[in-house]
């Protein structure tokens, strides 16, 4: 997928760079780019289907050899999920479907009205309002890093020191370029201590969010240095993503370092909250799809596509019109690298997102106390259960319907303040 490119204005660009065009106000341009990107993905759909067939076959054999009834049961054991069960994941799916999908319908309807459209199509989802330019928080990867240092410094001087140390040690590869693998990540380096951040910046709001997200991971890598055993630093994703997603929302209180214009700052915060609201149903959708994949190991490509569309319809709401785009919709799961590379690793983002919302809620009430608890929780590494680490952070590891309702209501109220 790193080799996937399209041509725009006589230039070959990555699909990540193409995403910038989907924020433009020119609807015909957005539609054209949407078709180019998705037609490019379709060129490799059969190869990617064959690859997943092979992976499911091998993974199911591994599970059987290890004495498990399905690969799902094997992976729950392999991932060390001592703190929650398959049934808890299914409960999370139901809570998101019941509470977040209707809220996202409200967000989409507001967006449709802002754009002045009769119907919202997939290429409209990220579009800027007429008269607005796409948000541009930085001019380059180095500019992004300098602004991140200033932002983290304002949250807490120690956080700024962490980012400055990484910059000075050249532990960054931020710019997007042809042939570079997609995505972004923080990679711990246990011998030297300071981690490494990899991403594909094209100077968009998404890049700002990725930077502060990976910055949260980096802080955890740094505060974990004193832990005696490497296994203590091998943190479960439910905790690691709490570190990163909390920093997305907490840093949002200081995004004036990226947007000096108050209107742009307000737009950026609103856009990110909308992405948070949309992210939870997407996480539930991808996780539910993986549950289906490995409890139906003998399925065909057609059955897989049908199962995906059912999941997508369940969690995507009813405001975006996908009519005439069946081929694209059936195969969009292929862009989710987790399905290929790290099976069943994705629900963690959903649990951590709920925790991050709770952290942000606490930060608004007690900034210094919340950051102190945040750092104290990260220092624990994996020397305690997930629930105990969340408790140290001052929040709950809980994904019941009542808790999801409490947090979704908070985000909804914050979103409405930015309308």
Q: Are 197 and 214 in contact (CB under 8 A)?
A: yes
Phi-psi region of 253 (alpha: psi -120 to 50; beta: other; left: phi over 0): alpha
Quote the percentage of the chain above a pLDDT of 90.
88
Q: Is the pLDDT of residue 176 over 90?
A: no
pLDDT of residue 168: 97
* pLDDT tens-digit map of 305-323: 999 999 999 999 889 999 9
135 closest CA partner among 266, 275, 30: 266
pLDDT of residue 130: 86
Q: What are the angstrom distances between the C-alpha of 123 and each of 154, 292, 296, 327?
A: 37, 28, 32, 15
400 closest CA partner among 74, 99, 13: 99
pLDDT of residue 182: 80
* pLDDT tens-digit map of 93-137: 999 999 999 999 999 999 999 999 999 999 999 998 888 888 899
Q: What are the angstrom distances between the C-alpha of 117 and each of 129, 142, 247, 316, 317?
A: 11, 38, 34, 19, 18
392 closest CA partner among 403, 381, 405: 381
pLDDT of residue 62: 97
pLDDT of residue 219: 98
| Contact residues for 165 (Cβ-Cβ < 8 A; gap 6+) | 194, 222
Q: Is the pLDDT of residue 278 over 90?
A: yes
Q: Is the pLDDT of residue 87 over 90?
A: yes
Task: Give the mean pLDDT of 161-190.
Answer: 92
Q: What is the pTM of this model?
A: 0.88
* pLDDT tens-digit map of 205-241: 989 999 999 999 999 999 999 999 999 999 998 999 9
pLDDT of residue 232: 95
Task: Give the mean pLDDT of 35-58.
Answer: 97
Q: Are 23 and 129 in contact (CB under 8 A)?
A: no
Q: Is the pLDDT of residue 383 over 90?
A: yes
Angle, CA of 17, 23 and 29, to the nearest 5° = 85
14-23, 139-148, 324-333: lowest mean pLDDT where?
14-23
Angle, CA of 386, 387 and 391, to the nearest 5° = 115
Residue 155, class by beta-carbon neighbours within 10 Å (0-12 exposed, 13-18 middle, 19+ buried)?
buried
């Amino acid at each position: 997928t790193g080799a996937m490119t399209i041509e725009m204005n006589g230039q070959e660009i990555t699909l990540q760079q193409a995403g910038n065009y989907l924020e433009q106000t020119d609807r015909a341009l957005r539609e054209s780019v949407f078709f180019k990107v998705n037609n490019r993905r379709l060129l490799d759909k059969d190869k990617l289907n064959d690859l997943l067939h092979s992976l499911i076959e091998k993974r199911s054999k591994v599970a059987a050899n290890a004495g498990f009834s399905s690969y799902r049961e094997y992976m729950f054991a392999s991932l060390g999920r001592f703190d929650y069960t398959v049934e808890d994941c299914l409960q999370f799916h139901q809570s998101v479907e019941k509470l977040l999908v209707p809220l996202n319908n409200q967000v989409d309807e507001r967006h449709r009205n802002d754009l002045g459209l009769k119907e919202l199509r997939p290429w409209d989802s990220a579009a800027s309002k007429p008269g607005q330019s796409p948000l541009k928080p930085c001019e380059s990867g180095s500019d992004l890093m300098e602004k991140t240092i200033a932002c983290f410094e304002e949250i807490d001087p120690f956080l700024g020191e962490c980012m400055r140390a990484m910059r000075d040690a050249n532990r960054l590869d931020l710019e997007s370029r042809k042939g570079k693998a997609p995505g972004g990540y923080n990679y711990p380096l246990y011998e030297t201590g300071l981690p490494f951040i990899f991403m594909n910046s094209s100077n968009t709001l998404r890049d700002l969010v990725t930077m502060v997200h990976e910055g949260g991971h980096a802080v955890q890598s740094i505060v974990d240095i004193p832990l005696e055993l490497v296994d203590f630093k091998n943190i479960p994703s439910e905790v690691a993503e709490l570190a990163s997603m909390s920093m997305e929302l907490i840093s949002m209180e200081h995004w004036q370092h990226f947007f000096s214009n108050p209107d742009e700052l307000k737009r950026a915060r609103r856009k990110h909250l909308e992405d948070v609201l949309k992210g939870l149903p997407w996480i539930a959708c991808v996780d539910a799809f993986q549950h289906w994949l490995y409890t139906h190991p003998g399925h065909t490509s057609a059955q897989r596509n049908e199962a995906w569309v059912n999941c997508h319809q369940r969690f995507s709401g009813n405001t975006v019109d996908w009519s005439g785009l069946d081929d694209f919709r059936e195969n969009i799961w292929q862009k989710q690298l987790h399905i290929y590379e790290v099976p069943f690793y994705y629900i963690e983002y959903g649990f951590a997102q709920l925790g991050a919302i709770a952290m942000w809620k606490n930060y608004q009430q007690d900034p210094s106390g919340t950051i102190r608890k945040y750092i104290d929780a990260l220092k624990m590494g994996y020397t305690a259960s997930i629930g105990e680490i969340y408790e140290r952070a001052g929040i709950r590891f809980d994904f019941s319907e009542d808790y999801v309702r409490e947090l979704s209501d908070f985000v909804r109220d914050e979103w409405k303040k930015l309308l």
